[in-house]
Structure 1
């Protein structure tokens, strides 16, 4: 293999909305780490508060920061690492993946099989979908509602439909509802009026509502709807990232129906890594179709435009990825 460069490109968020490409030192892996020559990273909606600017962020951010959905090729391994070798294609849980290289703990790296050669693979995001699906306990006999059809909602529709469940998708835009149908939803409902959409869900389910409900938007009104859609003794799975303040919810309804409420965000890196392993299996066996999930590709140099597209919810955008190296 050619010698590893000492300098790399990295995207730096210099100020809110101001993403620049700078040159910085290639990091060195510690004893339990691997150095990954990145091929790309997914862009997560959780990047938006930093990109837009909030009082609790400091700028400029470290080079490559915010990128945590990277994949690429192992460049070097620490002396205590076994089971991973240079040249091996992997996805990783790392935290500065908007760059040419990043380091990750070997325990948080997942090998990518030959079947995925040439495929963009934002492992952390796909693993997140798998872990949410696992927490939901979806069965083939269930009716499932998915509220909000972006990347996460679309992935969950695919997983639920492949598991044999009947899926009802609820979203604001015609494009999102069309995506839901292509992912396997048997019914779609426009999220345009509170009473109307609840009545429509009641008709579809003959008044029993849904065994499992995924709220995927991180917004207050869809969370209210998700509670209304949940059946007696059903399970409401909060998959959306509620990061902009307090929520008021109808606890009377939740209590009366005796529903389970699951906050399905994982903070344990080991669980996130297991989700990535499960995602690899799901893509290989066809339960997840990446062609429907990864809609926009940008070169690393266009990181600012890419994050702006996510912020502005550019039409047709499901998931954007930044590509480096041979994939750019």
Structure 2
């Protein structure tokens, strides 16, 4: 008698086994619980926040959980748990979930946003797009203001677009000629190479008639760009810290911050509800033409090339802006 053997459903998931080392493993396909959905992922963006754990600091524990570190996923719901009424199998969504370096991930239903039909086929790493919208909202950028953006990576490039569309005059400061060219295409009025700090300060002083900038967004996450950003902020201006400063303490020139009466805004959010609203705002901004990240997705990788994707995010080869890991 022939007996059919039913193979258990599996997914593919990346596991970081040590500093700079990753393997892809087959794991049982997880089932969503009450209030959850399972997303068959189309892809996941690679976030620069992954680079510190990828380097293997003392506090990092290996191996990671399957799919761990990935949190910029989007895809199609293929299973729905109990008590979920607002989503159905087949819905295309962006998800705020945390094991998205895998072909499937589980997300809470209230951490998922449905993508409209006009975005079909477009990559949509919701978390960083929502992050850009939340930073922009807290920066309170208005038409006619002069806004300096220090650091034109993926986030800085998005903020350049948003500030230009809002009617601000944008001064983009970046290290790489490729990034400066992108900022110029996005509408930046002036672009300045990030080399000598005091030369940059003098250039911006001249460009603004000695006033400096109404808003300055620091989007690098290092000490000297933070110092530079403060120097470029006018009296009673707003300094918005968007860089990811998680590799150690920072020093600030409190004497100058105090004298100029700066409003200093740490623009990172941790409330999932605010993240989700940012993703909704990003969808609206794309629909309205205020945000277009398509030219910023410069490098794509398979899941078994996650190490290459992380290394490129770290090393930033010429022409690099944002890596996506795409799943078949």
Q: What range is the shorter-chain TM-score in?
A: over 0.9
Superposed, 1:58-69 pairs within 5 Å as 58-69=61-72
Q: TM-score scaled to structure 2, two decimals? A: 0.97
Match of 1:74 among 51, 74, 77: 77
Deviation at 1:66, TM superposition (A): 0.4
Q: C-alpha offsets along residues 276-296 of structure 1, whole Å, 9 cap, x if unaligned?
A: 000111112111112222111
> Which residue of structure 1 lines up, in the alignment, with residue 205 of structure 2?
202
1:19 equivalent to 2:22? Answer: yes
Q: What residue ranges of structure 2 are gaps of 5+ in the alignment?
A: 1-5
Tell me, yes or no, if the aligned pair for 1:170 and 1:189 is still in contact at 8 Å: yes
Tell me, yes or no, if the aligned pair for 1:235 and 1:262 is still in contact at 8 Å: yes
Alignment partner of 2:78: what SS? strand
Match of 1:165 among 164, 168, 172: 168
Using the alignment, how far apart are the partners of 2:294 and 2:97 within structure 1?
24
1:145 equivalent to 2:143? Answer: no
Match of 2:116 among 101, 113, 116: 113
Deviation at 1:304, TM superposition (A): 1.1
Larger Rg: 2
1:184 equivalent to 2:187? Answer: yes
Deviation at 1:176, TM superposition (A): 1.3
Q: What residue ranges of structure 1 are gaps of 5+ in the alignment?
A: none
Using the alignment, how far apart are the partners of 2:193 and 2:59 within structure 1?
36
> Which residue of structure 2 lines up, in the alignment, with residue 96 of structure 1?
99
Superposed, 1:301-312 pairs within 5 Å as 301-312=304-315
Report the aligned-residue RMSD.
1.2
> Which residue of structure 2 lines up, in the alignment, with residue 265 of structure 1?
268
- Between the two proteins, the alignment pairs up a number of residues equal to 323
> Which residue of structure 1 lines up, in the alignment, with residue 249 of structure 2?
246
Q: C-alpha offsets along residues 102-137 of structure 1, whole Å, 9 cap, x if unaligned?
A: 010100100001111000110001000000000100
Q: 1:5 to 1:317 in 2, by over 3 A?
A: farther
> Which residue of structure 2 lines up, in the alignment, with residue 255 of structure 1?
258
Deviation at 1:184, TM superposition (A): 1.5
> Which residue of structure 1 lines up, in the alignment, with residue 3 of structure 2?
none
Q: TM-score scaled to structure 1, two decimals? A: 0.97
> Which residue of structure 1 lines up, in the alignment, with residue 294 of structure 2?
291
Q: C-alpha offsets along residues 250-303 of structure 1, whole Å, 9 cap, x if unaligned?
A: 111111111100001100000001000001111121111122221111111211
